[in-house]
Structure 1
Amino acid sequence: MHRTRPAAALAALSISACLLAGCSTRPGDESDRRKASPAASGAAATPHIRLNAADGQKHVSVRRGGRVTVEAGRITNVSLATANGRAVRGAVSSDGRTWAPDAVLDHGTAHRLTVVAAGADGRKVTKKIAFTTVAKTDRFTGTFTPDNGSTVGVGMPVSFTFDKAITEKKAVESAIEVSSSSGQPVVGHWFGARRLDFRPQQYWRANSTITVRIRLDGIKGAEGAYGEQDKTVRFTVGRSQVSTVDAATHRMTVVRDGKTLKTIAITAGAENSPTWNGQMVISEKLISTRMNGATVGFAGEYDIPDVPHAMRLSTSGTFIHGNYWGADSVFGRTNISHGCVGLNDARGGGDPTQDGAWFYNNSLLGDVVVVRNSDDRTIAPDNGLNGWNMPWDQWKAGSAR
């Protein structure tokens, strides 16, 4: 690896580059270079310098802004410095075609970049630009679920939440690619200006691998909001498990890979606080938690410690969880909850023989729980990870692509 050198050393490097560099042309490639046929005429192609910023550009990526690529030639000199004269160290690749800073550039800093490249015949090309990197206050970030390397249920969407309102939705959505090893087409849908979910038309196919390519670095999301994330995330879809709660019969049927695994007696929402209907996705698992009605609009009605095996189904506070305070006789016979689905269980979750423990231990984040025959409306698609309740045509209409 060669590093940027003082002028005296660069002269020797320039001579070496002229002796060693080769040149080539590709049929039909006319982008910013001269067409040449060395075999026929002995002419060499003019070096073409590619930069990741334009002269005078602002909000330039701190990761890509100082990088240099040369085609039909080799780099002989690179000078990158801040406006106050502080040099930015970097290295030339072994083939002399690329140069990159040793570290990411400083945010909100003016830079000057000069690049000299030479062709096989010694002809030199120089390019100079000045640019300013994006300020820390002008960045946006997307947090997302599920996590890289996780194994999830078939209902788990890919969900992004941005820390700033996005106005350039097409640019942001186009910079995120979600694909499945099953070949299922995947479409994004915007819920407002800060949330973007991706899913296929039907649940993910069991045992497939989902790849999420995030290429937001340098993407303008809004005025004063530029992305910096550049990563690839992969997660696995496990077995297919969909559990159907019938609020009228007070039973839940757990179906795994098309076969009934277990039927469990439950208690759903009472008459004055029914459970949402619809397809709900498990988004959080808590072995034990405290549930206070004040957090979900039932102030003073309950405050229960050590609620076992709680699994979140909605942002608004719907859970499927163990219940130790109800009499055994309520399960399978009546609905007594404030909107959750309750399973017979022991306080704190210490008894593995209870129905709540069994369901918790046999559930993944992303598993689907379907509620039917409750005296409430269908849950909103953006209340939790529950976009499956939106018709496919409506889902596609919410894409910005």
Structure 2
Amino acid sequence: MRTAVRRARRAGATLAAVLTWAGLVGGLAGCDSGGAFGKPHSPEELIRVTPDDAGRNVKADEPLRVEVAEGRLESVEVVRVQDAREEPVAGRLEDDGTRWRPTGPGADRLTLAAKYTVDAVAVDGDGRRMARHTTFTTSVPDERFIGYVTPENRATVGTGMIVKLEFNREIENRAAVERGVRIRSRPAVEIAPHWFGKTRLDFRPQRYWKPGTQVTVDLDLRDVEAARGVYGLQHKSFSFTVGRSQISVVDAAEHTMEVRRNGALVDTLPITAGAPRSTTYNGRMVVTEMLDVTRMNSRTVGFGGEYDIPDVPHAIRLTDSGTFLHGNYWSGGAFGSSNVSHGCVGLRDVKGGSSLTPAGWFFDRTLIGDVVEVKNSADKKVAPDNGLGGWNMEWGAWKAGAAAGS
């Protein structure tokens, strides 16, 4: 059984630290029907995190703390990401397990221009275990802009990784900013930019990266004027390595997922996908986050109060809008025979998660940047800006999204 909240494997990491609007959707999780659950306290009621989830422009002097209303905290992990570098925040639990506080030098102040993630597991007064995952971002001076980069520095990623920059301010002079970003690879391939609106700039090659490719991201944004009176801060380089190729194809009609490693079939796993009223997106999606355990609440993804599952195991995020491939311990014999979820892809698991189940097996063999492709679902193709969905756009259309004159 797993007791950790999550592995340190996710693509939320980044350049100066936070995904602006992505921080707003970072808490979205949820898809599968909940089955017959009781009415425990919600994780938000049990585990109280300060600053608030999805908070932006948090001041440096705001306190950072994690508390429980009853019961005790089992574990707390706080990570600060700044300039695409991830660093754990030291802290300690009080002896009675009701409160966590940061410790060490600078414990009374937050770092500016950074993203913080808080992962906590607690047991309430009735012995029920719950997990909470929150994020917040600290403030950046008003006259400056920052780009927050995915993936994190020195990461090893799957072949489907797309380099994403989220800017904390709207970019009016997109051509100038685009020219300030250089992506290099070894072996060399053409890497093209594409803008999604005024705050997001993605880069990818025409086809998936070749395993073993070394990629370097150079940011020369210092003093680049992005909008009138708003200038860049960053002059830095980051790098990541492309690992082995793993592409998994979900057939929603056959209720199976074929897992291929470096082109060879490794296994075929029984799955359950979206039910007829809540089908799963078709198309190619990229793993952006991996959580050992998380809460899935239907209200966060527009399904009303249909389910609230506080301990979903082996949760692998595929879209920003809340599509996951995750462990499922409540759907009985649906795997391989019927589609019963609210849009996610479910793999058989047990409560608490186990490495011996199909979900645990797949989780242990997955990297951020791996590709999961869904076919034969009665739904539309996933949008190219929903998560790292850019592989669903033809190369010509992708290149047409560069800034004029860049």
Kindly state the Cα deviation for residue 348 of structure 1 after the two structures are TM-superposed.
Answer: 2.2
TM-score by length of 2: 0.65
> Is 1:335 aligned to 2:339, yes or no?
yes
Equivalent in the alignment of 2:348: 344
Contact 1:211 1:234 in 2 (8 A): yes
| Equivalent position to 1:353, from 356, 373, 384 | 356
SS in 2 for 1:265: strand
TM-score (norm 1): 0.65
- Judged with a 3 Å threshold, the aligned counterparts in structure 2 of structure 1 residues 175 and 335 are, in CA distance, closer, same or farther, namely same
Q: Select which of 353, 372, 377 maps to 1:374.
A: 377
Q: For 1:2-401, list aligned pairs within 5 A.
A: 136-327=141-332, 329-349=333-353, 351-400=354-403, 401=406
3-state DSSP of counterpart to 1:232: strand
**Contact 1:205–1:237 at 8 Å: present in 2 too?**
yes
The secondary structure found in structure 2 opposite 1:348 is coil
Cα distance between partner residues in 2 of 1:325 and 1:182: 46
Letter in 2 for 1:203: Y
Q: Per-residue displacement from partner, 1:135-158 (whole Å, max 9, x unpaired)?
A: 932100111100010000011111
1:159, distance to aligned residue in structure 2 (A): 0.1
- Offset at 1:310? 0.2
Alignment partners' CA distance in 2, 1:323 and 1:298: 18
1:287–1:348 contact (8 Å) kept in structure 2: no
Structure 1 portions without partners, runs of 5+: 1-134
Cα separation, 2, equivalents of 1:323 and 1:397: 41
Equivalent-residue separation in structure 2 for 1:239 and 1:390 (angstroms): 23
Q: Which amino acid aligns with 2:335?
A: F
**1:396 and 1:190 mapped to 2: Cα distance?**
10
2: CA distance between counterparts of 1:186 and 1:311? 27
Question: Which structure: larger Rg?
Answer: 1
Supply the RMSD in Å over aligned alpha carbons.
Answer: 0.9
Cα displacement string for residues 324-378 of structure 1 (whole angstroms, at most 9, x for unaligned residues): 0110x210000000000000001121x2110000110000000000000000000
Q: Deviations over 1:257-279 (max 9, x none)?
A: 01011110000000000000000
Shift of 1:224: 2.4
- Give 3-state SS (helix, strand or coil) of 1:294's partner: helix
Aligned residues with identical type, % of pairs: 53
**Structure 2 unaligned spans of 5+:** 1-139
Alignment match, 1:22: none
**When the two structures are aligned, how many residues end up with a matched partner?**
265
Q: Give the letter aligned to residue 273 of structure 2.
A: A
Query: CA-to-partner distance for each residue in 1:70-118, whole Å, 9 max, x for gaps?
Result: xxxxxxxxxxxxxxxxxxxxxxxxxxxxxxxxxxxxxxxxxxxxxxxxx
